[in-house]
Amino acid sequence: MTLAKPTLQRMREELRVSEEFLARYNRPGPRYTSYPTAPVWNDAFGPGDLEKVHEEAERARTPVSLYMHIPFCESLCLFCACNVIIQKNKDVAPPYLGVLKRELERVSRSVSRERQVVQFHWGGGTPTYLTPAQIEDLFGATREHFTFAEDAEVGIEVDPRVTSREHLETLRRLGFNRLSMGIQDFHPEVQKTINRIQPFELTRDLLLAARELGFDSVNVDLIYGLPYQTPERFAHTVDEILELAPDRVALFSYAHVPWLKKQQGAFAAHLPEGMQKFEIFRTGLMKFLEAGYLYIGMDHFAKPGDELAIAQQNRTLHRNFQGYTTKAGADLYGMGVTAISGIQNAYAQNQRELAAWEKAVAERGIATMRGYHLSEDDRLRRAVISRLLCHTVVVKEEIAREFGIDFNDYFAEELRRLEPSREDGLVSIESNEIRTTWLGRIFIRNLAMVFDPYLEKQQLAAKPLFSKTL
Ligand SMILES: C[S@@+](CC[C@H](N)C(=O)[O-])C[C@H]1O[C@@H](n2cnc3c(N)ncnc32)[C@H](O)[C@@H]1O
Ligand code: SF4
């Protein structure tokens, strides 16, 4: 159901915030693709621990989600905060794929054939850095070792600048049904500054080809807060996106983390900040809502009728490292350099250096660098944070029943710390539930942070760990 005009008007009012409000809320905080967040994980958790977790999942006979990381890109976009390896010379691909297939084979030995793969995602870097033949070979190897569900969601991230029609035809023929395209912004000055020249026409033609080939869902990635963006310029980008009518839109907040990604320093003086960045976001948000898209939550929009929108209404929406999904209950097996797994009550990350990952796979097949076992308290907090992010409401009784606690007792301190946000209009706190308002949905990371006790220590770290919440 799209939003009625008076609702849109009310939202517009609700989202008129002051400088002082932004100064209080726009502070470093995690995106909660996991809880506890990655800086809490430790290197005492190794391959042996992951193997034990694999066994637990086997006993639980859970459905399977696979993630494959292809780290390579041909050139560096200066804003990029992803785990990438820039390599023009494509000779690096065959050896990488050799090691990846070995890891795949080893992981598959921990997953019996009656457990179905319900979700398969290729991310990066840029998976279409690979040739169509290489993609076909890797996909074939995966199918040989795993059983795919008939209706499995099979998705891939593509950079339109390096993706050909032949790529799309191959992907579609193999059974890929979802595409996610990086766009970011169409303004020439923004594109030049971030070293990503990507004409509208090229992007449009690829999207039309994807539609013609019958992909079920096409997502586009945009970023607000890039250098030289203004609300007017961004409004124009959004108009062009609306012309393309993607099924889903990810509108990410630009994460400025120059202590991790030095190249971001190159344009630091030209970044829109504070009120100006918020205005760019608000422009994008309102334009998508007015065009009939629904705001799913942290950064994501979908057309009404999209399964994410339905899952949110039914409160069956779920979040993992790739964002929002309807596939709750699946265990995620990540493969490739830096890849992350989320299996049962544990997280594990693969070696982050290419050579170290290759060596670990050669020696043992499993390349865990660090990981984490969740405690009972972690699981309880993960459930609360996940409900805030996915459902926008936490029903106290549901959590209490699931974990055998008295919600108001257990979270007395957190409820007290939510008071200022309640007064600021981000959240309502009733006897039976905590419910976010529109403003609260925009600043949802701040609300989730209240339930994260690890933050206090993390904030004392010498270097900041997270980007700002706006
Ligand atoms: C792996 S890339 C997508 C596929 C492909 N490499 C491309 O760029 O088209 C994932 C997405 O992360 C987002 N991203 C990367 N760095 C970011 C940053 N610093 N802040 C916010 N979003 C970022 C971009 O929107 C990008 O499209
Ligand atoms: S945004 Fe995409 S193409 Fe650009 S460097 Fe990052 S991963 Fe590579």
Question: What whole-number distance in Å separates Cα of residue 126 and Cα of residue 73?
Answer: 6
Nearest atom in ligand 1 to the alpha carbon of residue 77 is: 8
Which residue is closest in CA terms to ligand 1's atom 16?
80
Ligand 2 centroid to Cα of residue 114, in Å, is 36
Which helix (H) or strand (E) is 144 found in, with range? helix 132-145
Ligand 1 centroid to Cα of residue 218, in Å, is 16
Nearest atom in ligand 1 to the alpha carbon of residue 161 is: 9
Task: Tell me the per-residue pLDDT of 343-378, one tens digit each, with 9 for 90 and over.
Answer: 999 999 999 999 999 999 999 999 999 999 999 999
55 CB-near residues (< 8 Å, 6+ apart) = 110
Task: Tell me the per-residue pLDDT of 72-85, one tens digit each, with 9 for 90 and over.
Answer: 999 999 999 998 99
Please tell me the predicted confidence (pLDDT) of residue 1.
57
Percent with pLDDT over 70 in the chain: 100
**Nearest ligand to the C-alpha of residue 81?**
1
Angle at 332 between CA 365 and CA 457, to 5 degrees: 95
422 token code pair: 């309640």
Percent with pLDDT over 90 in the chain: 86
Q: What is the DSSP string of 389-448?
A: HHHSEEEHHHHHHHHTS-HHHHTHHHHHHHHHHHHTTSEEE-SSEEEE-HHHHHTHHHHH
Among 72, 77, 88, the mutation site with the greatest number of ligand 2 atoms within 8 A of its Cβ is 77
Per-residue pLDDT at 404 exceeds 60: yes
Which residue is closest in CA terms to ligand 2's atom 7?
125
Task: Tell me the per-residue pLDDT of 251-310, one tens digit each, with 9 for 90 and over.
Answer: 999 999 999 999 999 999 999 999 999 999 999 999 999 999 999 988 899 998 888 988
Nearest atom in ligand 2 to the alpha carbon of residue 157 is: 2
Is the shortest distance between the CB of 126 and ligand 2 below 6 Å?
yes
What is the mean predicted confidence (pLDDT) over 202-206?
98
Question: What whole-number distance in Å separates Cα of residue 400 and Cα of residue 407?
Answer: 6
Please tell me the predicted confidence (pLDDT) of residue 461.
73
Please tell me the predicted confidence (pLDDT) of residue 12.
85
Is the shortest distance between the CB of 17 and ligand 2 below 6 Å?
no
Per-residue pLDDT at 326 exceeds 70: yes
Cis peptide upstream of residue 47 (ω within 30 degrees of 0): no
Which residue is closest in CA terms to ligand 2's atom 2?
125
Is the shortest distance between the CB of 76 and ligand 1 below 6 Å?
no
Nearest atom in ligand 1 to the alpha carbon of residue 124 is: 1
Per-residue pLDDT at 460 exceeds 80: no
Question: Side chain identity at 62, as an amino acid letter?
Answer: T
**Nearest ligand to the C-alpha of residue 74?**
2
Is the shortest distance between the CB of 182 and ligand 2 below 6 Å?
yes
How far out from the chain centre does Cα 236 lie? 25
Per-residue pLDDT at 418 exceeds 70: yes
Please tell me the predicted confidence (pLDDT) of residue 376.
97
Is the shortest distance between the CB of 322 and ligand 1 below 6 Å?
no
How many residues are given for the chain? 470
Is the shortest distance between the CB of 334 and ligand 2 below 6 Å?
no
Ligand 2 centroid to Cα of residue 226, in Å, is 14
Please tell me the predicted confidence (pLDDT) of residue 383.
96
Nearest atom in ligand 1 to the alpha carbon of residue 257 is: 19
Per-residue pLDDT at 224 exceeds 60: yes
**With contact defined as beta carbons under 8 Å apart, do 442 and 454 qualify?**
no
Ligand 1 centroid to Cα of residue 105, in Å, is 29
Please tell me the predicted confidence (pLDDT) of residue 9.
87
Please tell me the predicted confidence (pLDDT) of residue 14.
83
The packing angle between helices 231-244 and 200-213, to 10°, is 30
**Nearest ligand to the C-alpha of residue 220?**
1
Per-residue pLDDT at 464 exceeds 60: yes
**With contact defined as beta carbons under 8 Å apart, do 349 and 368 qualify?**
yes
Ligand 2 centroid to Cα of residue 288, in Å, is 24
Is the shortest distance between the CB of 159 and ligand 1 below 6 Å?
yes
Please tell me the predicted confidence (pLDDT) of residue 457.
83
What is the mean predicted confidence (pLDDT) over 90-105?
98
**Nearest ligand to the C-alpha of residue 227?**
1
Mean pLDDT of the chain: 95
Please tell me the predicted confidence (pLDDT) of residue 462.
66
Is the shortest distance between the CB of 272 and ligand 2 below 6 Å?
no
Which residue is closest in CA terms to ligand 2's atom 6?
80
Please tell me the predicted confidence (pLDDT) of residue 466.
83
- Alpha-carbon Rg for the chain, nearest whole angstrom, is 22
Question: Side chain identity at 123, as an amino acid letter?
Answer: G
**With contact defined as beta carbons under 8 Å apart, do 401 and 437 qualify?**
no
What is the mean predicted confidence (pLDDT) over 174-188?
98
Among 84, 263, 338, the mutation site with the greatest number of ligand 2 atoms within 8 A of its Cβ is 84
**Nearest ligand to the C-alpha of residue 159?**
1
Number of CB atoms found within 10 A of residue 413's CB: 10
Which residues is 252 bridged to in the sheet? 223
Ligand 1 centroid to Cα of residue 184, in Å, is 8
Which residue is closest in CA terms to ligand 1's atom 27?
182
Please tell me the predicted confidence (pLDDT) of residue 370.
98
Which residue is closest in CA terms to ligand 1's atom 14?
80
